[in-house]
Amino acid sequence: MKRSLRLLPVLLLALSFCVFGQIIDPNVGVFNPSASCAPTCGTDPNAISTSEFGVWNYGNAGSPTSWYVIFAVPNDTGGAPTLTSDASSPDSFTASGPTNVGAYLSTSSQTEYEFAGSATDLSAKEINKANNSMNTSNMFGSAEQAAFGSTPTSFEIFVYSMSPALPNQTAELFDTSIVAGTFVTVLGTDAPGADKGQVFDTPFTTAGLGGGSGSSSSTSTSTSTSTSTSGPGGGPASGPQVPEPNTIVLLGSALLAVTAGLRKKLIRS
Query: How far apart are the C-alpha atoms of 68 and 148, rounded to whole Å?
Result: 24
Residue 113 has pLDDT above 60, yes or no: yes
Are 43 and 180 in contact by the 8 Å Cβ rule? The answer is no
Q: What is the pTM of this model?
A: 0.74
Residue 265 has pLDDT above 60, yes or no: no
Residues 6+ apart with CB under 8 A from 54: 30, 31, 32, 33, 38, 39, 171, 172, 173, 174, 225, 231, 232
Mean pLDDT of the chain: 80
pLDDT band at 195 (very low <50, low <70, confident <90, very high): confident
pLDDT band at 26 (very low <50, low <70, confident <90, very high): confident
Instruction: Kindly report, residue by residue over 39-57, the tens digit of the pLDDT.
Output: 999 999 999 999 999 999 9
What pLDDT is stored for residue 196 in this prediction? 75
What pLDDT is stored for residue 152 in this prediction? 96
Would you call the peptide bond into 45 cis, given omega within 30 degrees of 0 as the criterion? Answer: yes
